[in-house]
Amino acid sequence: MAKKYQVMVFGKSGCPKCKVLNQRLDKCLEQPGWEDFEKNYLNLETEEGLVHFCKVECINPQRIPAFFVAKKTEEGAYKPVMAPQPGQTDPVCKKSRLHHVVGLQTDYSDAGRGVISPRMIESVLKDAASL
């Protein structure tokens, strides 16, 4: 049975940061409280992955891996959870936070160091569940 939320993860084959994000997300979703969430991995080296990536329209292709949260509609389709206050400063996710949808992209600056931490993942999932 399809779950209430899908975490749409964008990555590519052979990317060590993509592997780490997937492992951290899997570990998070195994914990109690996240039963309404499932992961949907989309490889950007495939047509399907590229189509989904383009439809989001807000992830920088140079900041992969990335993910956003989608919520199941009454019709059964998944639609991105929209950010309630686009562009708002986020003390946990900082520059990794997506602006228009609830999600993250990798911040490769010196401040972000290319890390999407478990704390950041959990923060985004909590935000999505509260909307």
β strands within the chain, DSSP E = 5-11, 37-43, 66-72, 78-80, 103-105
* Euclidean distance between CA atoms 12 and 32, whole angstroms: 29
Cα–Cα dist 62/130, whole Å: 29
Q: What is the mean pLDDT of residues 21-45?
A: 97
Residue 8 has pLDDT above 80, yes or no: yes
Distance of CA 127 to the CA centre of its chain: 12
| Whole-prediction pTM | 0.94
CA distance 97 to 51: 21
Residue type, 17: K
Confidence (pLDDT) at 88: 81
Angle CA(103)–CA(127)–CA(115) in degrees, nearest 5? 45
Q: What is the pLDDT of residues 83-127, one digit of tens each?
A: 988 878 889 999 999 989 999 999 999 999 999 999 999 999 999
Q: pLDDT-based confidence at 4, cuts 50/70/90?
A: very high
CATH architecture of 5-130: 3-Layer(aba) Sandwich (3.40)
- The terminus-to-terminus CA distance of the chain in angstroms comes to 22
- Tokens representing 82 are 């929209």
Say whether pLDDT at 6 is over 90.
yes
Q: What is the pLDDT of the chain when averaged over all its residues?
A: 94
Whole-number Å distance between alpha carbons of 51 and 69: 16
41: amino acid identity, one letter: Y
Residues 63-84 have pLDDT tens digits of 999 999 999 999 999 999 999 8
Q: Residue 124: name the closest of 82, 68, 80, 70 by CA.
A: 68
